[in-house]
Amino acid sequence: AQSVTQLGSHVSVSEGALVLLRCNYSSSVPPYLFWYVQYPNQGLQLLLKYTTGATLVKGINGFEAEFKKSETSFHLTKPSAHMSDAAEYFCAVSDRNADGLTFGKGTHLIIQP
């Protein structure tokens, strides 16, 4: 069985500061990893995904994430936060034998002016 742990249900950063959202996973097989963002009253939008190949993955809106197998982590970063980044962020994992995504509990990102 696979699982995802997102450390910190709420993260607050100042506008212009580094954003770091943490995600650790467990999976019995090499995982596929995803970050989704959910804005208020909207569905989920894919930010980026890791399947194979380069472990540093770049996504939309300036976000990137690095797959670290030794640490079973897939943390999401952005060098400089913008007010429009305020949203709920979900890390998800999919193994090669399942089609549904297993999501973490989510991290609410707050941007302070």
Partner 1 sequence: DSGVTQTPKHLITATGQRVTLRCSPRSGDLSVYWYQQSLDQGLQFLIQYYNGEERAKGNILERFSAQQFPDLHSELNLSSLELGDSALYFCASSVAASGLSTDTQYFGPGTRLTVL
Single-letter residue type at 107: T
Residue 40 CA to residue 84 CA, distance in Å, equals: 12
Our finding on whether 86 is near partner 1 (CB under 8 A) is no
**DSSP structure string for 55-78:** SEEE-GGG-EEEEETTTTEEEEEE
Our finding on whether 105 is near partner 1 (CB under 8 A) is yes
Is residue 83 classed as helix, strand or coil in its secondary structure? helix
Q: Which is nearer to partner 1, 81 or 92 (CB)?
A: 92
Our finding on whether 90 is near partner 1 (CB under 8 A) is yes
What's the closest the beta carbon of residue 105 comes to partner 1, in angstroms? 5
According to CB under 8 A, which one of 7, 17, 86, 98 is a site residue for partner 1?
98
Strand 102-103, strand 87-94: pairing: antiparallel
Contacts with partner 1 by CB under 8 A lie at 32, 36, 41-46, 49, 51, 90, 94-106
